[in-house]
Chain A
Amino acid sequence: MSDLHHAHGHDHGHGHHDDDHLHAHGSMKDYSIGFILSVILTAIPFWLVMTHQVAPGATKALIIGFAAVQFVVHMVYFLHMNSKSEGGWNMMAMLLTVILLFIVLSGSIWVMYHMNANMMPNMGNDGGSVHGMHDMQ
């Protein structure tokens, strides 16, 4: 319920004891905007990849960009994320998660993709893909 406080944020004294009063959890406008934006932001990446509009490298960069924007759209319009919900703790928990997520993902990729370079000479050449990281680019 208190996620919905932004609708009543100015009114600290209103009756929380009133079980019948349900706080607004998003509005028709929010959901509609979010949905339309999501459809556009989903359709374009699929279209780019399925019809080979641009070079693969540029396509990758573009679809990651669209995913990032769509992530924000979902957070704001569907999950009603803002700096005030739950006294800011929602946002804090999310920021911590984003930091951990970044460390886990970039750390794994960084370490594993450099494994070939850090191997002893001639170790990676004999076994083919059974050696795991060998055939990664």
Chain B
Amino acid sequence: MSEINATHAGAASADPSSRFYVREHHPENGTLLGFWIYLMSDCLIFACLFAAYAVLGRNYAGGPSGAEIFELPTVALNTAFLLVSSITYGFAMLAAQKKNVKGTQVWLAVTGILGACFLFLELQEFAHLIHEGNGPWRSGFLTSFFSLVGTHGLHVTFGIVWLVTLMVQLGKHGINAANYRRLACLSMFWHFLDVVWIGVFTFVYLMGVLP
């Protein structure tokens, strides 16, 4: 928000045409564009991990294949958690637009709980695999599987940390411009994770169980 205020302070002294010029070339919401570019770079990290999985995903080295270790009902439940958390985050944004602090916090909490359920199931799956001796060291397939799905899970973890932080911020300062901007950034982050998960469940889990 500071650059916007600066623009306005400058605009008061400058003539209208220069103000127009400044507006044209510095969108007031640089933060959201910058955050979007961060997400795109994150997208490239996932692209590399997907590429590694595409290359190594069938190198079982005598270990189990995807069809043997993936439990699709669990994955479907996980997918449902993420998908519902996407729309509950949408509800949080809608409540924030109405300046409804309590409503925003409640929907953020619901979103966070769904995210935590997702993480719980994923960690349970990982723990089960490692317990059976099918950890990331077992084969190229499992290495690339753990890297890809683990990186996504790590993103969800940080998303939840951010979400809790924002709930505290909202409680302290209410819905001001800065908090709304943060909510909008986290909204992009959260929906982006859901987009990555589409790729994960399609290419890793569903394709993995097909012969």
Of all chain B residues, which has the CB nearest A36?
Answer: B87
**Residues of A in contact, count (CB < 8 Å):** 64
B79→A3 contact, CB < 8 A? no
Q: B interface, how many residues as a size bin?
A: 35 or more
A101→B43 contact, CB < 8 A? yes
B47→A104 contact, CB < 8 A? yes
Q: A19–B83 Cα gap in the complex (Å)? A: 32
Task: Name the contact of B32 in the complex, choosing from A64, A86, A130 (C-beta under 8 A).
Answer: A86
Task: Name the contact of B54 in the complex, choosing from A56, A100, A105 (C-beta under 8 A).
Answer: A105
B97→A108 contact, CB < 8 A? no
Identify which of B7, B91, B207 gathers the most chain A CB atoms within 10 Å of its CB: B207
Contact of A22 with B180 at beta-carbon distance under 8 Å, contacts A2-B32, A56-B211, A71-B198 already known: yes
Q: List residues 45-87 of chain B with CB under 8 A from any CB of chain A.
A: 47-48, 50-52, 54-55, 58-62, 72-73, 75-76, 79-80, 83, 86-87
Q: A28–B86 Cα gap in the complex (Å)? A: 13
B128 at the interface (CB under 8 A from A): no
Of all chain B residues, which has the CB nearest A90?
Answer: B36
Of all chain A residues, which has the CB nearest B24?
Answer: A87
Contact of A100 with B47 at beta-carbon distance under 8 Å, contacts A3-B184, A86-B29, A132-B59 already known: yes
Q: Which residues of B contact A86 (CB under 8 A)?
A: 27, 29, 32-33, 36
Q: List residues 4-51 of chain A with CB under 8 A from any CB of chain B.
A: 4, 12, 16-17, 19-20, 22, 24-28, 30-32, 34-35, 38-39, 42, 45-46, 49-50
A79→B32 contact, CB < 8 A? no
Task: Name the contact of B76 in the complex, choosing from A46, A60, A93, A130 (C-beta under 8 A).
Answer: A46
B198→A22 contact, CB < 8 A? no
Q: Which residues of A contact B209 (CB under 8 A)?
A: 49
A123 at the interface (CB under 8 A from B): no
Question: B residues engaging A (CB < 8 A)?
Answer: 1, 4-5, 7-8, 23, 27-29, 32-33, 36-37, 40, 43-44, 47-48, 50-52, 54-55, 58-62, 72-73, 75-76, 79-80, 83, 86-87, 90-91, 93-94, 96-97, 99, 140, 175-177, 180-181, 184, 187-188, 191-192, 194-195, 198-199, 201-203, 206-207, 209-211
20 additional A-B pairs beyond A35-B87, A74-B86, beta carbons within 8 Å, are A1-B29, A3-B32, A4-B184, A20-B177, A25-B93, A30-B90, A31-B94, A35-B90, A46-B75, A49-B72, A49-B206, A63-B202, A74-B195, A78-B194, A90-B36, A94-B36, A104-B47, A109-B55, A133-B59, A136-B58
